[in-house]
Amino acid sequence: MSDLELKPFNVREIREEFPALRQQIYGKNLIYFDNGATSQKPKLVLDAINLFYSKENANIHRGVHYMSQKATTEYEAARQRIQRYLGARKSEEIIFTKGTTDSINLVAYSFGLSLSAGDEVLISAMEHHSNIVPWQMLCERQGCTLKVAPINLRGELIMEEFDKLLSKKTKLVAITHISNTLGTINPVKEIIEKAHALGSKVLVDGAQSIQHMHINVKEMNCDFYVFSSHKVFGPTGIGVLYGKEELLDRMPPYQGGGDMISRVTFERTTYNELPFKFEAGTPHIAGGICLGKAFEFLESIDMAAAERHERELAKYAEDMLDTFEGLQIIGEAKNKTSVVSFSVKGIHPFDIGTLLDKQGIAVRTGHHCTQPLMDFYGIPGTVRASFAFYNTKQEIDTFVEAVERSLSMLK
Amino acid sequence: MNLTEKQEEIIQEFEVFDDWMEKYEYIIDLGKDLPKIDEEHKTEDRLIEGCQSRVWLDSHFDHGKMHFTADSDAIITKGIIGLLIRVLDGEEPNDIATADLFFISKIGLQEHLSPTRANGLLGMVKRLKLEAIKHISAS
């Protein structure tokens, strides 16, 4: 299946593949801990971007000439690679979008047209704004109701409360697989089973899970799974909506334009088949092809070992940070991924982030597009270090020292 | 000292620092020394919302000169406010409205006044200037 062989997990070797990690910022070796926002790119992807625009650039699906056919073949091969990686039944179930946000908006609009007053959409209290606002807009348009399942202080979904909110009125559960702010891994299989039992469909926001664990949509049995390329080592500006064929088939197109049509007259237009029905206009061709390369790269990584390594990093960082006076780890779910969010009493996260930056460390500070979650914890924001499999314990040692120095300056 | 001289003085002060952390240590100290705005005066009309840190600004006009007090929930933001106020406080509205705050980029802090930084500082400078313009048009 893969062009690359599955190698034993070796961080040093993996880091060699990422040129961006080998640079200095303000005279310090860069420590990149903002992987939750976006990941760095391996050479395989970077070379493919360069090759595409140097030699292979052509529009796809319509050209009779050599280059167009080659680009079309590669773009569609990328779709098939993603289909195989995700375990989807057909490549028609893989829709290329602009990213997670675009994928969710597509479902909110198109699937959302079948909802009406009395219907409910159920989300959780730990959602990213992109998995809140499109549903609020849908509810305003269609007159349906948005329900929010609460979480406990550890940052875990309270399943008893979720069960109470889930009913026959629920037409869609839209839930994040992994919280971008807390790192909590939600029990999506259980959620999907329960939702299906009551006739609801489930959209899983995979923006923070695709890069951390092996995803199989067939096993998960979700109805929609969405993610962004740039968080999974691919280019920005492209992402994926996986949807079950029978659902996508029934959904009307989201945007009109070229490529999504079968026949256009001024009286009536008929639409193209899946997946093209949802891909109006010239797509991000290089993006699609290079996202395929990102998956080719992922296929060479032992994801189970990578996941273990990432969790070890998070545990290592948390254990050390926990000893700092006034520092509170935000998000202490039993099942969590490599996200370490924290706040420090009396110190604004912005100040910590600014000082870490000047020590060569890239973290995210602020509300992480989860303002309702910040309100729940009563804090303006957190400092978030999010690790990828190319990060190391040595980097965490340097990071912890830098946090210590920053706090001593700010207190 | 006029607006330009005050800025040049700050640039000179910053020349002694060897690295970023020293520079920020100084800014943090400035932030700690800046008088606070009382909690009851941190009202909506004084608030300049940033995506990350927030700024409160109070201004008054006295004998032809503008005076400012400002506060922030982030200490680095507050330190930079301290510098801005040192330059602009006690100046005439016309000079404030047309002021080129060149010292900010000279001391390497331009990122804090970029629209993407979202710390309320850019909004604060805009509001300072708007307040000044109001007094120009009033006179």
* Alpha-carbon torsion angle A249, A255, A258, A262, nearest 10: 30
Q: Give the B-side interface with A, CB within 8 Å.
A: 19-21, 24-25, 28, 51-54, 73-77, 119
Q: Which member of B19, B25, B53 has the closest CB to residue A350?
A: B53
Q: What is the rounded average pLDDT for all residues in chain A?
A: 96
> pLDDT at residue A324 above 50?
yes
CA-wise closest residue to B89 among B131, B53, B45, B139? B131
DSSP state letter for B65: E
CA-wise closest residue to A13 among A25, A23, A2, A21? A21
* Residue A7 pLDDT class (50, 70, 90 cuts): confident
Tell me, what CATH number does B15's domain have? 3.90.1010.10
**What are A216-225's pLDDT values in tens digits?**
999 999 999 9
**What are B60-110's pLDDT values in tens digits?**
899 999 999 999 999 999 999 999 999 999 999 999 999 999 999 899 888
CA distance A335 to chain B (A): 29
> pLDDT at residue B138 above 80?
no
pLDDT for B125: 85
Q: Which two tokens stand for residue A371?
A: 């303002």
CA distance B68 to chain A (A): 23
d(CA A364, CA A359): 14
CA-wise closest residue to A83 among A240, A259, A278? A240
Q: Which member of B20, B28, B51 has the closest CB to residue A366?
A: B51
Q: Which residue of A has its CA nearest to B117?
A: A350
* pTM of the predicted protein model: 0.94
* Residue B119 pLDDT class (50, 70, 90 cuts): low
Q: Which domain holds residue B8?
A: 3-138
> pLDDT at residue A383 above 60?
yes
**Average pLDDT score over residue span A122-148:** 98
* Residue A1 pLDDT class (50, 70, 90 cuts): very low
Are residues B73 and A348, on separate chains, in Cβ contact within 8 Å? yes
Question: How many separate domains does chain B show?
Answer: 1
pLDDT for A4: 60
**What are A21-31's pLDDT values in tens digits?**
999 999 999 99
Are residues A350 and B119, on separate chains, in Cβ contact within 8 Å? yes
pLDDT for B18: 86
Q: Which member of A351, A367, A381 has the closest CB to residue B76?
A: A351
Chain B residues in contact with A410 (beta carbon < 8 A): 28, 75
Q: Which residue of A has its CA nearest to B52?
A: A366
Q: Are strands A120-124 and B55-62 parallel, antiparallel or unpaired?
A: unpaired
- In this structure, how many other beta carbons lie within 10 angstroms of the beta carbon of residue A67? 14
Are residues B75 and A348, on separate chains, in Cβ contact within 8 Å? yes
**End-to-end alpha carbon distance in chain B:** 24
* Range in A80-84, A163-167, A252-256, B58-62 the model is least confident about: B58-62
Q: Which member of B21, B51, B75 has the closest CB to residue A358?
A: B21
d(CA B60, CA A317): 48
pLDDT for A3: 54
Q: What share of chain B is helix, strand, coil (3-state, %, to 5)?
A: 55, 15, 30
pLDDT for B29: 95
pLDDT for B51: 65
Q: For the residues of A342-380, what is the DSSP string, one character each? A: EEETTB-HHHHHHHHHHTTEE-EEE-TT-HHHHHHHT-S
* Residue B139 pLDDT class (50, 70, 90 cuts): low
pLDDT for A347: 95
- A326 and A345 in contact (C-beta within 8 Å)? yes
d(CA A201, CA A222): 8
- A79 and A242 in contact (C-beta within 8 Å)? no
Residue type, B113: L
**What are A224-280's pLDDT values in tens digits?**
999 999 999 999 999 999 999 999 999 999 999 988 999 999 999 999 999 999 999
Q: A47-299: what fold?
A: Aspartate Aminotransferase; domain 2 (3.40.640)
The phi, psi pair for A325, rounded to 5°, reads -65, 130
In chain A, where are the structural domains located?
A: 11-41+302-410, 47-299
d(CA B91, CA B21): 31
Chain A residues in contact with B27 (beta carbon < 8 A): none
Q: How many H-runs (helices) and E-runs (strands) does chain B carry?
A: 6, 3
CATH number of A11-41+302-410: 3.90.1150.10
Question: Tokens 């992402």 sit at which residue?
Answer: A239
DSSP state letter for A93: G
**Average pLDDT score over residue span A313-330:** 97
**Average pLDDT score over residue span A279-302:** 97
Question: Please, which residues bridge with residue A124 across strands?
Answer: A149
d(CA A112, CA A115): 5
